[in-house]
Each structure stands twice: as C-alpha cells, then as structure tokens.
C-alpha cells in the first residue's frame, strides 16, 4: 500500500538523548527527498497542543548531526494525557495540514502515540531515543552507544584518582529499570563489581568480592551501580555499609547524573539516527502506522507499538560472566 502524504510532523518527547538531532535531520531530509513538507513540532506533544510548529527544509538542519540534545526541545505533556488535550492536538494537526507524525522518544512517548492513533486513526511512527536502551524491538536505542562512551571516559578519569589513592569508588550511572549501561561500562571501565536492577548480587557477595579483589593485589576498585540496582541501596548507603564492614578501603562516591545524556553523538548513533529517520518516513509513505523503527542484526525493522511498549529488552547474561572473569 502506498499512502499519499503531503506534510509530516516530527517531534521529540521524554528525556533527551544524543542522536535525536541527527534523527530530526534525517526525517527532514528524507521528507525533502520525497518532496514532502516537514514540520518541526516544539516541546513534544505539548507543542501539538500549542500549535507550535515550524516548517523545516533540508538547510534548516544544517550542522545538526553532531549536536547533543534536541533542537525541537522536549517536554512531558499532562494535557496530552487527557481526552480533551488529544482532541485539541488532533484539531491543530488537521488545521496545519499535518497528516502523519514521527515521534522520537521512549516508552511513554510511544504509549501516547498509540492511544492517539487508536482514537483518531492518525498515522504515527516511532523512533526509539533514550540512553537507557530499555526498549523492546531494537538492539540499540538512539543515544545508548554515545552514553556508554561518555560514561567510560568519565570512569577512566575517576580511576586515575582511585588508583593514585588506593581508593574504592562507587559510581552511579543511569538505568532505573535496565542495567545495560552499568553492565557495559562496568566491563569497559574495568570495574570490580557491577550492580544492576536485573540481578541481586547480595551485599555479602559484594563484600566478599571486594575482599578477594584486595587480596589479589588490587590497590583500588571501582564498583559501577545502576540507579535502580536490585540491592536496593543507593550509592551513599553502599558506601556506609562497606565502610562499616571493611576497613581496607577509603570509600568515595560519584553520581554521574545528567551529563550522561549530552554531548555529540558517536558515529554509530549518527548513522543509526540517519537510518531510522529514513525508515520512519518511508514506512509512513508505504502506508504503515503504529510501529516503532528498530535495528536488529544491523537491519532496519518495525515493531508494533504495543509490543514495544509491553516488551522488555533483556540484558546479555554472557556479559555478567565476562565481567566476573575480567575482575580476576
């Protein structure tokens, strides 16, 4: 099936992630390539409700591919969660002649799109943009690869101090529900232990592991902790617990926070964003709707929104074992 579309709107929603700008650029240029008008919508769904649109041509996205954040800005919209809000949104889109939407964001954003599509049969296509990589239907979300590099570079710096002073550092990284970042940067930065939401290591094993690590001649140690680690203690509580139970280490804490979200995207994220933008627009032109674009085995793929939203991306258990062996 081919769908004739004259105007596509694009928005970013939820937390920002590196590669969102590259995805906007790709949507805009793919529209231009197919002679479709493209409208940028500011501040996510909020911008539809406010009618905050801007026409974008291929030159409007010049110099955008390597910029972090999102030039269209992002916001969480309470109004769009109401029936009245969505009605207003639909009216505004119709008024502006926008016939389909590309939504760049995470789980929550796709749920919004799904509901909107159900109510108004409005063509929507999603692009997964979040550093957490916690979305089902794609091996990589936009921004994840960049965040891994950002975090690994920061922990490299913390390691300089840790090993200069024979210290133990607890480093908290993003990941409320998913340990992808923690697990990969833990291995990448040579962490002694990695605490993630998916696995309950147990406090006893942590102590044991730190003791063994000390005995094996390591003078400093890094423990990477995902925000939502299963042990249920935050990094400051972990510090206290370890200091009470071990005297061998001076313990320090570092909470990396929002910096993990910013910065120029990695080459991988730039290419992925470019591919996803093309796929999203061309899928709409092929008559498809209500899907999230994903990448599987380096091939572009579509996952229905309801599956993407309900499913859960799993961590790679092999990595847990590799981490164990590496901290020998």
**How far apart are CB 91 and its own copies at their closest, in Å?**
25
How far is Cα 18 from Cα 270, in angstroms, rounded to an integer?
9
Subset of residues 106 to 145 that bind its own copies, contact rule: CB under 8 A: 139, 145
Q: Decide: is 83 part of the binding site for its own copies (CB under 8 A).
A: no
The one segment of 16-24, 47-55, 115-123, 193-201 that binds its own copies by CB under 8 A: 16-24
Tell me if 176 sits within 8 A of 131, measured CB to CB: no
Residue 159 among known ligand-binding residues: yes
Closest Cα partner for 137 from 270, 299, 319, 14?
A: 299
**How far apart are CB 159 and its own copies at their closest, in Å?**
7
Q: Which residue do the tokens 């799904």 mark?
A: 114
For residue 167, the SS3 value is: strand
Tell me if 146 sits within 8 A of 263, measured CB to CB: yes
Based on CB atoms, which residue is closest to its own copies, 233 or 275?
A: 275
The answer to whether 177 is a known catalytic residue is no
Tell me if 217 sits within 8 A of 237, measured CB to CB: no
**What is the CB-side half-sphere exposure of residue 23 using CA atoms within 13 A?**
38
Site map for its own copies, 45-74, x if CB under 8 A?
-------------xx--xx-xxxxxx--xx
- With CB under 8 A as the contact rule, the residue among 11, 98, 101, 158 that binds its own copies is 158
Q: Decide: is 286 part of the binding site for its own copies (CB under 8 A).
A: no
**How far apart are CB 83 and its own copies at their closest, in Å?**
26
How far is Cα 152 from Cα 126, in angstroms, rounded to an integer?
29
The one segment of 85-93, 157-165, 204-212, 235-243 that binds its own copies by CB under 8 A: 157-165
- With CB under 8 A as the contact rule, the residue among 5, 16, 47, 105 that binds its own copies is 16
Residue 137 among known ligand-binding residues: no
Of 52, 91, 132, 240, which one is the catalytic site residue?
A: 132
- With CB under 8 A as the contact rule, the residue among 82, 87, 164, 307 that binds its own copies is 164
Tell me the sheet residues that pair with 167.
Answer: 250
Q: Decide: is 39 part of the binding site for its own copies (CB under 8 A).
A: no
Q: Decide: is 214 part of the binding site for its own copies (CB under 8 A).
A: no
Please list, in sequence order, all residues whose beta carbon lies within 8 angstroms of the beta carbon of residue 141, skipping any fewer than 6 positions away: 17, 106, 128, 129, 130, 131, 132, 133, 134, 135
User: How far is C-alpha 33 from the geometric centre of its chain's CA atoms?
Assistant: 28
Based on CB atoms, which residue is closest to its own copies, 138 or 290?
A: 138
Stretch (H or E) spanning 181: helix 180-188
Angle, helices 144-165 vs 180-188, to 10°: value is: 50
Q: Which residue do the tokens 């674009």 mark?
A: 293
Based on CB atoms, which residue is closest to its own copies, 92 or 323?
A: 323
Subset of residues 225 to 284 that bind its own copies, contact rule: CB under 8 A: 252-259, 261-264, 266-268, 270-271, 274-275, 278
| Residue set of the binding site for substrate | 130-132, 167, 174-176, 227, 252, 258-261
Catalytic machinery residues: 132
């Amino acid at each position: 099936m081919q769908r004739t579309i004259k105007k596509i709107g694009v928005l970013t929603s939820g937390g920002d992630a590196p590669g969102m700008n590259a995805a906007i650029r790709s949507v805009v240029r793919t529209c231009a390539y197919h002679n479709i008008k493209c409208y940028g919508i500011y501040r996510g769904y909020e911008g539809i409700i406010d009618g905050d649109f801007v026409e974008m041509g291929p030159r409007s996205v010049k110099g955008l591919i390597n910029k972090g954040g999102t030039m269209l800005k992002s916001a969480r919209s309470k109004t769009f969660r109401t029936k009245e809000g969505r009605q207003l949104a639909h009216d505004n889109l119709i008024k502006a002649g926008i016939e389909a939407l590309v939504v760049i964001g995470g789980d929550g954003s796709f749920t919004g799109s799904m509901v909107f599509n159900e109510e108004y049969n409005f063509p929507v296509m999603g692009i997964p943009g979040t550093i957490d990589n916690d979305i089902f239907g794609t091996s990589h979300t936009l921004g994840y690869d960049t965040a891994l590099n950002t975090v690994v570079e920061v922990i490299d710096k913390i390691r300089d101090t840790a090993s200069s002073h024979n210290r133990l550092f607890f480093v908290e990284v993003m990941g409320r529900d998913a340990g992808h970042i923690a697990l990969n940067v833990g291995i990448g930065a040579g962490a002694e232990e990695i605490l993630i939401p998916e696995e309950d290591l147990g406090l006893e094993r942590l102590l044991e592991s730190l003791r063994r690590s000390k005995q094996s001649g390591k003078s400093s140690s890094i423990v990477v902790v995902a925000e939502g680690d299963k042990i249920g203690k935050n990094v400051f509580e972990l510090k206290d617990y370890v200091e009470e139970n071990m005297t061998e280490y001076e313990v320090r804490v570092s909470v990396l926070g929002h910096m993990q979200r910013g910065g120029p995207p990695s080459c991988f994220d730039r290419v992925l964003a470019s591919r996803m933008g093309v796929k999203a627009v061309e899928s709409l032109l092929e008559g498809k709707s209500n899907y999230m674009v994903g990448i599987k085995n380096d091939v572009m793929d579509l996952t229905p929104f309801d599956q993407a939203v309900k499913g859960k991306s799993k961590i790679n258990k092999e990595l847990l074992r590799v981490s164990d062996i590496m901290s020998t």
